[in-house]
Amino acid sequence: MTLTPQSNKAYVLIINSLGFTALDNAFELTSLDAKYFEENETIDLRDAIQLVKNVNRYSYTPNWPTIFGRHLGIATHGPVGYAAVSAPTIGKALSTFVEWFHIRSECYTSKIIEHDDTFEIRIVDTSGDTSFKEFFFEAFMKSFEVLIALLLGRPP
């Protein structure tokens, strides 16, 4: 039996709360409905991919992944967010965020290479879907920007 990668339902709830499109549109061609979220903590990656395609199609703005990424800060990531903010350097903060985010979304692999004064962070999408890959990149990069601004006390 092959296990389907999962993503935390919190991300769908954030997307819904931001009102990019009606729920019926967002859930089109998925196994999702409002009741599903009362009973489950995660969604299958295939439903997440379709949800992204649906929001791409129906959203009032093409910039919705960036808007979504702005909302992925320390408050939405609890202990992971706190650990990232508590890290001694920006590189360690970003590394912490990348390493621990994986427990909430199984759609990527990562490799972190620490040098004397730099960090190289490699993130590889494993969804196999171009739309999802683009969404994930935009949202993740915006969340990095928000985290860096928080740590620096100003935009990078």
Q: pLDDT tens digits for the chain (156 residues)?
A: 447 889 889 889 999 999 999 999 999 999 999 899 999 999 999 999 999 999 999 999 999 999 999 988 666 656 666 677 788 888 888 888 888 776 778 888 899 998 888 889 899 999 999 999 999 999 989 988 888 888 888 877
What is the count of structural domains for the chain?
1
CA distance 23 to 145: 28
- Give SS3 for 81: helix
Whether the CA torsion 33, 52, 13, 105 is positive or negative: it is positive
In a domain, 156, yes or no: no
Exposure on the CB side of residue 69, measured as CA atoms within 13 A: 18
Domain containing residue 102 = 6-150
Element (H, E) at 122: strand 119-125
* pLDDT at position 78: 63
In a domain, 1, yes or no: no
* Closest by CA position to 19, among listed 53, 60, 52: 60
In a domain, 41, yes or no: yes
CA distance 105 to 91: 21
In a domain, 30, yes or no: yes
Backbone φ, ψ for residue 127 (5° rounding): -70, -30
In a domain, 142, yes or no: yes
* pLDDT at position 135: 95
Exposure on the CB side of residue 8, measured as CA atoms within 13 A: 12
* pLDDT at position 4: 83
DSSP-derived letter for residue 102 is T
